[in-house]
Chain A
Amino acid sequence: DGGITQSPKYLFRKEGQNVTLSCEQNLNHDAMYWYRQDPGQGLRLIYYSQIVNDFQKGDIAEGYSVSREKKESFPLTVTSAQKNPTAFYLCASSADRRTDTQYFGPGTRLTVL
């Protein structure tokens, strides 16, 4: 059963802590993306990766970091430098950068206590 998985579903963080959100896909897709969703706003792009060992900043990369060591995995770290991290985080993938359609995972809801 192919798809995108994200874990955990809910995550709570204390101020000053770094946390890592997991994203895994078994669709054999080259490209992967991280978006952030806040109430009343559209999804905003944080980081994206078109191929293993390569990634680029999106519109709101400050306070976040990523890695792409394996094709199927694209973890996102929310660092203490991110001033307002409470949000719904969505991971997506597409077959390659020429194939535009992106498919989304179920999301991780991060809350800062």
Chain B
Amino acid sequence: EDQVTQSPEALRLQEGESSSLNCSYTVSGLRGLFWYRQDPGKGPEFLFTLYSAGEEKEKERLKATLTKKESFLHITAPKPEDSATYLCAVREGGGADGLTFGKGTHLIIQP
């Protein structure tokens, strides 16, 4: 059973068409939830860390929010350069120090 589930698996948007990516998790005692961006053949690039329900963080066209069961990555007026795979990961309190990752959402922004 997956502890971190991301949806949709793939999303194609027109430039300027806002949308949201979902990350649901089932770990107990969430210590932190992380969003990364990954371009093909590259390592993940850190975007946000969220620690508690109700927390929100923004960076340019991206905004991440957290509830007790899921997180959303909102993309406002996306541009083609926002095309990438977006990864969600969680760290469980009391567990090993590594992160548990979802399978990612592959986002394509068409001009």
A residues in contact (CB < 8 Å) with B: 4, 6, 31, 33, 35, 40-45, 48, 50, 56, 58-59, 90, 97, 100-107, 109
Contact = CB atoms under 8 A, between A and B. Distances in A.
B109 to A, nearest CB: 22
Interface of B: 4, 31-32, 34, 36, 41-46, 49, 87, 89, 91, 96-104
A107 B45 CA distance: 12
Nearest to A34: B98
B49 A105 contact: no
B31 A100 contact: yes
A97 B101 contact: no
Contacts of B44: 43, 90, 104
A5 B45 CA distance: 14
The SS class assigned to the B binding surface is strand
A42 B91 contact: no
A100 B104 contact: no
Q: With a 10 A CB-CB cut-off, give which of A43, A45, A50, A90 has the most chain B CB atoms.
A: A43
Contacts of B97: 31, 33, 48, 50, 56, 97
A90 B97 CA distance: 16
Contact of A107 (B41, B98, B102): B41
Given A43-B87, A90-B44, 9 more contacts: A41-B103, A43-B99, A43-B101, A48-B97, A100-B34, A102-B34, A103-B46, A104-B43, A107-B43
Nearest to A50: B97
Q: Which 8 A-B pairs have the closest CB atoms?
A: A45-B98, A42-B101, A104-B43, A100-B32, A43-B101, A104-B44, A106-B43, A107-B43
B71 to A, nearest CB: 15
A58 B42 contact: no
Given A100-B34, A105-B43, A48 B96 contact: yes
